[in-house]
Every structure is written in C-alpha cells, then in structure tokens.
Copies of this chain bind each other. A is one copy, B any other.
Amino acid sequence: MNTAAGSSVARRKAQWSTVEEIKQYILELRLHPGDPLPTETELCEALGVSRSSVREAMRTLSSLDIVEVRHGHGSFVGGLSMSPLVSGLIFRSVLDSEGDLRTLREVVDLRIALDLGTAEELVELHRGGPPRDDLRGLVERMRQHTARGEGFAEEDGAFHRELLAGLDNTIVRQLVSALWEVHTEVVPKLGLPPARDIDKTVEAHEAMLDALEAGDVEAYRTAVADHYQPLLTAIEAAVASNSATPAAPREARIS
C-alpha cells in the first residue's frame, strides 16, 4: 500500500507540524520542566511521521530549551531558560567583532537600562529591610582580588545575581544573568584586555550598595552609570586599536 516514502497525502509539511504537535502535547498535559516525554519511537507512531522528522523536531525544541534530551536515557520537558538568547547574542557579538564591537556595547547598554529600570522597585524593596551583608562581603572579596592583581568575575556575577534576588520576577533575573553571561563569555573570545581602572568598578559596586541601603534612588542610578563606565571605555579602546589592524578574513577550514 504505502510506498517507501509514505503516502503522499500525509507528508505535506510534517516538519513544522511535528514541532507544534509536540508543544501541544506538553501544553495539554500541563507538564512541567523535568517531566518525562514519550520516546522517539512512541512519538513516531503517535504522530504518524518518521523518526527523522521526530528527531529534527526534537532538535528544534531542544535548541529552544523547550525539551531536554539525554542520550540513552530519554527526553524531558526543558528548563525554558534564556540559553537560546545567550547563544544568539554571543554569536552575534563575535560576528561583528571585526569593526565596532557594536553588539557587545549594546549588550552593556541593555544591562544599564535594566539596572536603571529596576532601581525604584529595588530601593523600595530594601527600605526598612536588613542590610545586605552578603553583598558587602562580595565587595570586600572583590577588593582583595584587585589588590592581588586578580580578576573577580565570580564575585561580580554573584553580586548582580544576588542584587536582584528579592525581585519576584524570574524573567528579569534570568535576563540579567543571561546578559552577564554573554558579556563574560564574549570578552575572552575577542581577547579584550580587562579594564584599566578596575578599582573604580569595585568602588561603584560599593556605591550602589550604599545608595540602596540609604534608600537614595538618584544616587543608585548614578552609581549604576559609574559601574559600567570602565566596561564601556574598555570597549571603545579596543575598537580604536582594532581599527588600526583591520583583521582581514581568515581562510575557512571548510573549502
């Protein structure tokens, strides 16, 4: 009955459809991240498509972090994280690294906008609350690392993550973490040197903390701007030195 390629009626656009059907399956069963999904074979006969089609659909959903697939174990509902955004922004940042580092600068500007935009709510949140000794400690460790000439990426990440911890908005927190991740992953890929006036960054962290505990929104906004200034000037400096060496496109390994 069926030819080797299957009936011509049923294979109109299995690709797009399969992705949507698997999404519908998750929605209609009200599954949560981590819940198990049917095996690929089961999905094949349930949806009436070949295994290749199911696999490509699962790959699509997997790259969007809607499903997570573990080799030799099974497939599960994914974490619905910001990882696709991170991948895309990293690639985009490295791609336009030839010229003006535009994407990287825009990522920093977006981080600034988010810190400014959450300022009022964050200050309000800390009004009357206990002092943030945890953030104080992180700033102190930053200072120690700087004194030894070391970096403090770990503490910086923890600071910005913990800063927004009380914010009751998962997406904002995830987005801020994602943008921090983009920044810290891209900078070494491009071989950018760390900022010269790195001690100013430590002071700015402390100023943000002071303003937060003092309940001073305007001082907080100023401290945020000061905090990102070294990063922006480092990017500008890199652009200036890059424009001297235009960096012609290398030969591709694939010919």
Contact = CB atoms under 8 A, between A and B. Distances in A.
Interface stretch (A133-141, A148-156, A165-173, A204-212): A165-173
A4 interface: no
Given A60-B63, A85-B84, A106-B169, A253 B25 contact: yes
Given A30-B98, A85-B85, A87-B64, A116 B120 contact: yes
A113 interface: yes
A88 B84 contact: yes
A26 B95 contact: yes
Contacts of A85: 82, 84-85
A29 B252 contact: yes
Q: For the side of the interface on A, what is the size category?
A: 35 or more
B38 A64 contact: no
Interface in A219-236: none
Interface in A56-80: 56, 59-60, 62-66, 80
Contact of A172 (B56, B63, B110, B250): B110
A115 B141 CA distance: 34
From DSSP, what is the main secondary structure of chain A's interface residues? helix
A117 B112 contact: yes
Q: Which of A113, A114, A253 has the most CB of B within 10 A?
A: A113
A24 to B, nearest CB: 7
Given A28-B252, A30-B98, A110-B175, 13 more contacts: A21-B253, A28-B251, A46-B255, A80-B92, A82-B88, A85-B85, A89-B171, A102-B170, A106-B169, A110-B171, A112-B117, A116-B120, A117-B118
Interface of A: 21, 23-31, 38, 43, 46-47, 52, 55-56, 59-60, 62-66, 80, 82, 84-85, 87-89, 91-92, 94-95, 98, 102-103, 106-107, 109-110, 112-120, 169-172, 175, 249-255
27 contacts: A25-B253, A25-B254, A28-B249, A30-B249, A43-B254, A46-B255, A59-B59, A59-B60, A59-B63, A63-B63, A64-B84, A64-B87, A80-B95, A84-B84, A84-B85, A85-B85, A89-B171, A103-B170, A103-B171, A106-B171, A109-B171, A110-B171, A110-B172, A110-B175, A114-B114, A114-B117, A117-B118
